[in-house]
Amino acid sequence: MKAAVIERAGATPVYRDFPDPEVHDGEVLITVAAVAVENVDRAIVAGSHYTAGAFQAALPAIPCFDGIGRLPDGTLVGFGGLTPPYGSLAERAVVPAAYTATIPDGIEPAVAAALSSAITAMSMRTAAGLEPGETVLIQGATGVAGRLAVQIARLLGAGRIVATGRDDAALEDVAALGADTLINTTASDDELLRSFRTHAGDGYDVVADFLWGRPTELLVRALTPETFAFHQPTRLVQIGESAGPAIRLTGESLRTSGLEVYGAARNLATGMATAYQQVVDWVSNGELTIAVETVPLSQIAQAWTRTDLRGRRLVVVPG
């Protein structure tokens, strides 16, 4: 079969022949229809993600570990559970039958492949318990998941949405999606600190953080009071780290700011099914739009390094 193959750590995928996977008891053969390429996939290929060990040990290997495809009877399903060297960027995949789920009618395969980004944004509710009327700060709102988070925050009833990003034009796009206030994080430390404080209003109730690094470190400083005051809680959900893998977190910022930090996976084991169904319903009725850019598998080498997607999720389709 044809597949996108990583020959060595950090390399760009090569479109070439790869041995077909074998089907064993309890497994099903999938004809792949669409695969979303996300930051985590690139990090695994680069060897920088904490789960990259198995993939790196199996090289040459096919990247990406979930996708959308058809069973032998034509049923469209989402699938996962792949084991290196086999990944989903291929014509076919074999997965445990238990790792498939039927995709509802009316959702195109390319859009279905990108649903995971929207479900991640649902951590505002599953992890942080977002309630209608609350103020949400979305750190990194100009990326694919960040733009979805803006839409989802509005759909969940957020009273006010503050969005950050590095590009003014992209931030204007985010405003059109429902953000009320925009903050450009390329400002100097002092300016960014001041912006966080100025636009906090009565406080940020929930922060969906796709950035970490410098912007979040400055946000934490902005939340720390300069007097003996007791601030209302700010529930920060740590989702991504596109601005850096670490921050300096002082004890006083936790003692006095009301800051509560949660991982995006908090409560997901019990809340995933509900979050997934909500996202599917929104997409099905047109309330939530997921922007995708489709490319054929044969062009994966050129697509892998594209930087012009501007908020669209790269989705690889057959061809």
Chain segment 258-289, per-residue pLDDT in tens: 899 999 989 887 888 899 889 999 999 999 99
pLDDT of residue 228: 65
Is 80 exceeded by the pLDDT of residue 70? yes
- What residue type is assigned to position 236 of the chain? L
Binning pLDDT at 50, 70 and 90, where does residue 152 land? very high
* Cis bond upstream, residue 60 (ω within 30): yes
Calculate helix-pair angle for 144-155, 168-177, nearest 10 degrees. Answer: 30
- What is the structure's pLDDT at 26? 94
Read off the amino acid at residue 295.
V
Flag whether pLDDT at 302 surpasses 80: yes
Q: Are 239 and 145 in contact (CB under 8 A)?
A: yes
State pLDDT tens for residues 195-237.
Answer: 999 999 989 999 999 999 999 999 999 998 877 666 688 999 9
Distant-in-sequence, close-in-space partners of 26: CB < 8 Å, separation ≥ 6: 96, 97, 98
Instruction: Please report, for the chain, the start and end positions of each structural domain, with discontinuous segments joined by +.
Output: 2-107+293-317, 118-263
Output Rg (C-alpha) for the chain, integer angstroms: 21
Beta bridge partners of 261: 236
| 185 vs 242: CA distance, rounded Å | 13
Question: What are residue 162's DSSP bridge partners?
Answer: 137, 181
What pLDDT shows up at residue 184? 97
- pLDDT of 229: 65
Q: Which phi-psi region, left, alpha or beta, contains residue 137 (left: φ > 0; alpha: ψ -120 to 50)?
A: beta
Q: Do domains 2-107+293-317 and 118-263 have the same CATH topology?
A: yes
Cα separations in angstroms, 203 against 11, 192, 222, 232, 289: 44, 16, 11, 7, 29
State pLDDT tens for residues 101-147: 999 888 999 999 999 889 899 999 999 999 999 999 999 999 999 99
> Scanning the structure block, which residue is given the tokens 């193959």?
5
pLDDT of residue 309: 87
Q: Is the pLDDT of residue 317 over 90?
A: yes
Q: Which CATH architecture has domain 118-263?
A: Alpha-Beta Complex (3.90)
- Integer angstrom CA distances of residue 314 from 57, 80, 167, 303: 26, 18, 20, 8
Give the pLDDT of residue 230.
Answer: 63
**Quick one: pLDDT at residue 251?**
86
Percentage of the chain lying above the pLDDT 90 cut = 79
**Is residue 319 within 8 Å of residue 15, measured between CB atoms?**
no
CATH of domain 2-107+293-317: 3.90.180.10
Half-sphere exposure (Cβ direction) of 63: Cα atoms closer than 13 Å: 32
What pLDDT, on a 0 to 100 scale, did the predictor assign at position 165?
96
Mean pLDDT of the chain: 93
